[in-house]
Structure 1
Amino acid sequence: MRMFSVFPGYRFFLYVVVVVLMVMMSLKMVTSVKAVKVTDHQAMFSLMPTVWDRHDPITAGLFMFKTHLANHLHASILVTNTGNGRGTVNLYPADASSAPTGGASFSSRDAELTDVGSWIKLSKEKVTLDPGKSQSVPFEITIPVNTDSGEHIGGIIAEDVKPLVAQAKKIPIHIRARWAVPIVLTLPGPTHEKLIATGILPDRGLVYQHLMIGLSNAGNIRVKANGSLQILDDHGHLIQKHALQYETLLPRTSIQNRFYIQHKALGVGHYQAVLDLYYGHNKVLKYRTEFIIKPPVKDLGGAIVALVKLGDTDDLWSLFAPWQIASGAGIGLILLGFLGYGLTKFCLKVKHQLSQHQEH
């Protein structure tokens, strides 16, 4: 009967619950931390053009070429280890697309390249550096003869071979760090600005209510946009109005921006969305559409299983707000603690009964 002695007492489970909840609270605070502190003996890298114009600081952070078709460009990138430990990075070219709220998002190392990334040829694909050391890596860009006019944007990425260990609120975080230098190529020919809306729909699940705003930069140069989103009921009465602002939207790319409904959730029914955006050089986008808020999904478990079967695991977590994930995990741990407490009491009771039986 010694096996029963391995079960900890109820105090242990209570301690576990308290500690885990404290960790959950810390993790919640970590989500708002904007900077992390690198631990000792870690490599950390920076990328910049080897040659840049000191009178134009923006050229220290990206390459900008005005070029023509079938041209061969030669340049080099400076890789520097700014950390306090030796480290290695993989270098690779990437295509750029618009991030959900604007700005550039770069393709992953194994992504299929179709634009600027496919035009870049690096002289090296891996660099190892001691702390404080730098190395210049030459590369070549070949512009295809059938490329459209306007701007084409890609970049060169340095990705840590080993995960970076950082500290945020004294909690270690393992990060696969990536550093990027954008490359903006401007080809001769007519330019045009054209931002279009591709739809406004409630996102599936509606556990934490939000709308998906679809935008596409159908032009051939970068644009910024700002304006408002109005939500009207089926009688045309204004319910909510929110300001919107998008940083640079890259040409020939689209986004799906998740917009969270604030203050009071929308009830079941029919609604209208009115989108007004001002972009580029005095351009205006006006878009109106209808959408329906349906009753909440009763079988949430089935919906989650369906998402997992579809392989859309990234969207699975987007169904919930961060505080809902933390609260749900906390409640689950509390229930687990009570389950462990009950199991411990049951085992102790069985042990006591067996001891009495042996005495008799």
Structure 2
Amino acid sequence: MKTHPEHVVAPLCSRVIAAIAVLLSVGAGGVLAGTSSAAAADEPPVSWSVAPAGADGPDGRFSVEHEIEAGRSIDDFFAVRNLGGEAATFALSAADGFYNDNGRFDMLSSDRESVDSGTWIALPDSVTVAAGDTVVVPFTISVPGNAEPGDHAAGIAASVMSTSSGDGASVGIESRVGFRVMTRVAGELAPALSVGHVIADYRTSWNPLRPGDITVSFEVVNEGNTRLSLGGMVAIAGHETAFPASTDRAQDVLPGEGHVFTVEIDRVWPLFMFPGEVTVSPTVTTADGAMTTVAPSSASLFVWAMPWPQLLVLAGLALLVLALVWRRGRSKRRVDAMVSAAREEGRRERGSLITPNP
């Protein structure tokens, strides 16, 4: 049994589908554990939390991770704590998991059908918890005999229904809180990925004394059978920029999923064109929790960086120089013409002063 090292609880989000809204608290880095509250218009609020547990209560895990052979099963527990002032009944469910566009782990909403490890989890339909009490709920993960080796993600959630009235209509709201369940089916791991849809764009600063910026976007697709933690480097225009940024968490991608990265490279002077390269260096978590590296994958890129502002300035300077040269030449020609006219006038005047001999 492994424990996930991260613990981040995300804010609550909501979605209304027809007359049912699904509220799912999603944790960063693959953790769905958290605390939520919900209340109907005329009912006291219900507040609760859900976390992995041992038989005696919460055990400090924030997600569940097991390696199980195909055709075998394993038992585990989670705890539902009622933080409200009255007893409450919580519906329990399991569903396939995925990483959303924001990089956070999520699980399928109740109106969508699971087809993978969300169907491997057996648990009670509901649990009733007294005010301020905690109930430990058992569940079983049963891996089919034909399950493919590798990582399979799901989530377990506890939910309550509430209603909200407005404009004469009542809307049912299902509020869910849960955690991630990662099942690794024993067998050969074959990590693989591809890098594609590489797009680079240079944004010109129309101030010729300021450099521009390059934006590089690309998609990394997990083509193997194990969860990958992605990171790497974009090298272009003499800059090497890491992704994700040092202030961001590592981005996990499940088998068959992809994630689009966007990398900003600041302060790049336009020098007509820049070749570059995207290098993705993934890591894989082994069964004992250690991280192992995978052979990097790379893709080339190219971007035009036309120095239009600088060219306009140079063109303006060239026109100014040409104008000054033309004006100087014109002035010189006028002076030369005036000097020639003066000389001619002088010769005529000297000729009129000469009297011929009789």
User: Where in structure 2 are there 5+ consecutive unaligned residues?
Assistant: 1-33, 165-172, 202-213, 284-291, 305-358
Number of the residue aligned with 1:256? 259
Number of the residue aligned with 1:216? 221
For the aligned residues, what is the CA RMSD?
4.4
2:76 is the counterpart of 1:71: no
CA contact (8 A) 1:97 1:104 kept: yes
Q: Output the CA distance in 1 between the equivalents of 2:199 and 2:153.
A: 29
Deviates more, 1:135-144 or 1:112-121: 135-144
Deviations 1:216-259 (A, max 9, x none): 222323332322223x4xxxx44x64321362524413233352
Q: Output the CA distance in 1 between the equivalents of 2:226 and 2:181.
A: 14
CA contact (8 A) 2:121 2:141 kept: yes
Q: Output the CA distance in 2 between the equivalents of 1:163 and 1:212.
A: 42
Q: Output the CA distance in 1 between the equivalents of 2:197 and 2:133.
A: 49
Cα distance, 1:74–1:101 mapped onto 2, change above 3 Å: same
Q: Output the CA distance in 1 between the equivalents of 2:269 and 2:262.
A: 13
Q: TM-score, normalised by structure 1?
A: 0.52
Number of the residue aligned with 1:339? none
Q: Output the CA distance in 1 between the equivalents of 2:35 and 2:47.
A: 12
CA contact (8 A) 2:222 2:257 kept: yes
2:191 alignment partner, one of 185, 190, 193:
193
1:180 alignment partner, one of 173, 178, 181:
178
2:56 is the counterpart of 1:48: no
Query: Whose strand proportion is higher, 1 or 2?
Result: 2
Q: Output the CA distance in 2 between the equivalents of 1:116 and 1:87.
A: 28
Cα distance, 1:265–1:135 mapped onto 2, change above 3 Å: farther
2:147 is the counterpart of 1:136: no
Q: Output the CA distance in 1 between the equivalents of 2:234 and 2:268.
A: 15
Alignment of 1:14-53 (within 5 A): 42-51=45-54
* AA in 1 matched with 2:199: L
Cα distance, 1:248–1:144 mapped onto 2, change above 3 Å: farther
Rg larger in 1 or in 2?
2
Q: Output the CA distance in 2 between the equivalents of 1:119 and 1:106.
A: 14
The SS at the match of 2:279 is: strand
Length, aligned pairs only: 238
Deviations 1:109-143 (A, max 9, x none): 2222121102223321x445453122333333331
Number of the residue aligned with 1:278? 281
CA contact (8 A) 1:43 1:131 kept: no
CA contact (8 A) 1:210 1:258 kept: no
Q: Output the CA distance in 2 between the equivalents of 1:279 and 1:179.
A: 30
2:241 is the counterpart of 1:242: yes
1:229 alignment partner, one of 216, 222, 234:
234
The SS at the match of 1:44 is: strand
User: Where in structure 1 are there 5+ consecutive unaligned residues?
Assistant: 1-34, 165-174, 204-208, 294-360
Query: Whose helix proportion is higher, 1 or 2?
Result: 1
The SS at the match of 1:113 is: coil
Q: Output the CA distance in 1 between the equivalents of 2:222 and 2:155.
A: 19
- Percent identity of equivalent pairs: 19
Q: Output the CA distance in 2 between the equivalents of 1:49 and 1:142.
A: 18
Q: TM-score, normalised by structure 2?
A: 0.52
* TM-fit CA distance, 1:214: 1.2
The SS at the match of 2:147 is: coil
Q: Output the CA distance in 1 between the equivalents of 2:276 and 2:259.
A: 16
Q: Output the CA distance in 2 between the equivalents of 1:176 and 1:264.
A: 48
Cα distance, 1:149–1:224 mapped onto 2, change above 3 Å: same
Tell me: higher relative CO, structure 1 or 2? Use CA pairs within 8 A at least 6 residues apart: 1
Alignment of 1:140-151 (within 5 A): 140-151=140-151
Cα distance, 1:68–1:163 mapped onto 2, change above 3 Å: farther
CA contact (8 A) 1:78 1:135 kept: yes
Cα distance, 1:119–1:86 mapped onto 2, change above 3 Å: same
Deviations 1:49-95 (A, max 9, x none): 341799x966x222233322222434343211234566554422121
CA contact (8 A) 1:101 1:247 kept: no
CA contact (8 A) 1:76 1:136 kept: yes
Deviations 1:3-35 (A, max 9, x none): xxxxxxxxxxxxxxxxxxxxxxxxxxxxxxxx9
Q: Output the CA distance in 2 between the equivalents of 1:39 and 1:273.
A: 51
2:157 is the counterpart of 1:157: yes
Number of the residue aligned with 1:82? 83
